[in-house]
């Protein structure tokens, strides 16, 4: 075991003395050392409950004959970072999470790992570290929160943000908004919808890295405590049998996870995160790969923010295993292994779809194709992404004049002032990984668009990204971004933008002569944030088309 580096041999007396100081006895020196990577955070509803889960993981580790050691990593709450400069730090936190875990694990020589996390950048950051370190490991999803209930309807967090626009329009009172604020987040957990947090937890399960069913088990359910204990038991078995992530994270498992995401109606942010995780094990996944899978995967689950149901409904219907069962061996590699020692074929043979209204059959799909569409054209030669299942049929093809903004704040101010007309195409640039820096989620602007009644007649394109809560004709991840000299950098008000989702095209009506003339006068804008870390990040970050991973060389 790796931990023998710390405890075996006469010259390791100093290390053993340090371990004695924290209460270990000699018998434990021969047992597997298990790192419990916890993203517990007092200011984060998705992670405030993780100390109890960690305790149950440790109980499971000890039951199986291992020695648990808990340590923490950072956890940014995207819900708190929305709409201000703090969002510039969210995506870059993914790299810090992965790197900080690598530092601890390599320095302290754990034999196996359990990762506990549940929100937007924490899950992919942990999965990147899990793949990179290639030690026996289990991922434990922190679990969704219960939905809010207002006037007889079950709601998720994005609906309170959209309500702000309704207040501005006079369709809702400030008192009604205050009441909604009080009840919409009734428990700990990740937001009660198929946003980025729950998409990526489901991805972890689809990859085979989490216990079956665990990604939809809600944070406040006692079942989550039992899953925590079982995760501790499983990781010791994985160490004893020397089963590593490289045996689970294969091309088959990434194929399965992408199929699952498209069937669930997953967040557009998976276009950033799944390629980054695959990159850690030497597998290249491109936007074209994701487009190919999306085109051939039916959308089976009508989950908020674009659908009718909440995560609790998905869990009660059977969760990820039931979705995998509906996809079947025609679309999945059911021989792919999982951390509980069973293949997906063995798992789905024992489950049932308990609610075909929530998890549709393939012959009764919500949409024929998966949730994401990759658009290309002169505005996005490397690609752009839209959550096509969240776009009204009337907006799937749209041509309109550009209204150009160099930040989200400028766009929000203009929308709230009533200066956007139906048919306009909002263009928000310098929000990419380099130009933001940090590629902010633009949930503030998309929520206001929906709340102001512009969600089905106004389009938006950006080199930034969207929250998993975003719905409507919103095209993000435009690459190359403005700061890298993409065509989006020289757009002007009135330029005619053509969005064709069925045709997978994104173009602007500009001649080569005009493009050349504008670029001769162009120079990139300075980043919005003066930050030591973000300055380094901006220099090292790759294109969003490659998962916004960091270059290994300066």
Binding residues: 78, 120-121, 441
Active site residue 535: no
C-alpha pair distances (Å), 391 with each of 140, 370, 372: 33, 13, 11
Round to whole Å and give the CA distance between 323 and 101.
32
- Candidates 147, 140, 129, 232; CA nearest to 190 is 147
Which residues sit in the known binding site for Mg(2+)?
78, 120-121, 441
Helix (H) or strand (E) holding 518: helix 512-520
Q: What angle do CA 12, 15, 20 make, to 5 degrees?
A: 120
Q: List CB contacts of 541: < 8 A, sequence separation 6 or more.
A: 92, 433, 434, 437, 548, 549, 550, 551
Diameter of the chain by CA atoms? 77
Round to whole Å and give the CA distance between 77 and 122.
9
C-alpha pair distances (Å), 450 with each of 11, 97, 168, 447, 539: 66, 33, 12, 5, 35
Neighbours of 433 (CB within 10 A): 30
Round to whole Å and give the CA distance between 409 and 297.
37
90, 467, 538, 543: which is the annotated catalytic residue?
467
Instruction: Tell whether omega for the bond before 492 is within 30 degrees of 0, i.e. cis.
Output: no
* Cβ proximity of 77 and 43 under 8 Å: yes
Which residues are marked as active site?
Answer: 467
């Amino acid at each position: 075991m790796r931990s023998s580096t710390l405890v075996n041999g006469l010259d390791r007396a100093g290390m053993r003395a340090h371990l004695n100081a924290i209460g270990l006895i000699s018998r434990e020196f021969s047992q597997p050392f298990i790192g419990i990577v916890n993203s517990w955070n007092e200011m984060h509803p998705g992670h405030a409950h993780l100390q109890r889960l960690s305790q149950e993981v440790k109980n499971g580790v000890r039951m199986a004959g291992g020695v648990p050691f808990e340590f923490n990593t950072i956890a940014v709450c995207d819900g708190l970072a929305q709409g201000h400069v703090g969002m510039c730090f969210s995506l870059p936190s993914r790299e810090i999470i992965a790197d900080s875990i690598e530092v601890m694990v390599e320095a302290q020589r754990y034999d196996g790992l359990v990762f506990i996390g549940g929100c937007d950048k924490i899950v992919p950051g942990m999965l990147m570290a899990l793949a990179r370190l290639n030690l026996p490991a289990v991922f434990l999803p922190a679990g969704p929160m219960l939905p809010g209930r207002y006037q007889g309807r079950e709601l998720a967090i994005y609906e309170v943000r959209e309500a702000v626009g309704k207040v501005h329009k006079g369709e809702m009172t400030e008192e009604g908004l205050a009441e909604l604020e009080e009840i919409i987040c009734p428990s700990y957990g990740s937001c009660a919808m198929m946003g980025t947090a729950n998409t990526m937890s489901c991805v972890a399960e689809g990859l085979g890295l989490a216990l079956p069913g665990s990604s939809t088990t809600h944070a406040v359910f006692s079942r989550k405590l039992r899953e925590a204990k079982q995760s501790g038991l499983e990781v010791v078995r994985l160490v004893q049998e020397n089963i590593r992530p490289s045996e689970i994270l294969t091309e088959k498992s990434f194929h399965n996870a992408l199929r699952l995401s498209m069937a669930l109606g997953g967040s557009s942010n998976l276009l950033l995160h799944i390629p980054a995780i695959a990159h850690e094990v030497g597998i290249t996944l491109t936007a074209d790969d994701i487009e190919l899978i999306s085109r051939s995967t039916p959308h089976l689950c009508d989950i908020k923010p674009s659908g009718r149901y909440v995560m609790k409904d998905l869990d009660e219907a059977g969760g990820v295993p039931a979705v995998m069962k509906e996809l079947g061996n025609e679309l999945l590699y059911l021989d792919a292994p999982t951390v509980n020692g069973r293949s997906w074929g063995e798992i789905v043979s024992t489950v049932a779809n308990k609610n075909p209204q929530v998890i549709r059959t393939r012959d009764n799909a919500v949409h024929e194709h998966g949730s994401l569409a990759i658009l290309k054209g002169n505005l996005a030669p490397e690609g752009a992404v839209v959550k096509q299942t969240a776009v009204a049929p009337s907006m799937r093809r749209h041509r309109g004049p550009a209204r150009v903004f160099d930040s989200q704040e400028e766009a929000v101010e203009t929308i709230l002032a009533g200066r956007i007309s139906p048919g306009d195409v909002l263009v928000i640039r310098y929000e990419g990984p380099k130009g933001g820096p940090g590629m902010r989620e633009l949930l503030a602007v998309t929520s206001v668009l929906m709340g102001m009644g512009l969600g089905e007649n106004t389009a938006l394109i950006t080199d930034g990204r969207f929250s998993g809560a975003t719905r409507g004709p919103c095209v993000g991840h435009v690459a190359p971004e403005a700061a890298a000299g993409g065509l989006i950098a020289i757009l002007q008000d009135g330029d005619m933008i053509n969005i064709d989702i069925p045709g997978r095209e994104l173009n602007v009506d500009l001649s080569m002569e005009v493009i050349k003339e504008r670029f001769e006068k162009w120079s990139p804008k300075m980043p919005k944030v003066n930050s030591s870390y973000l300055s380094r990040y901006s220099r090292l970050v790759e294109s969003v088309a490659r998962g916004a991973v960091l270059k290994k060389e300066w």
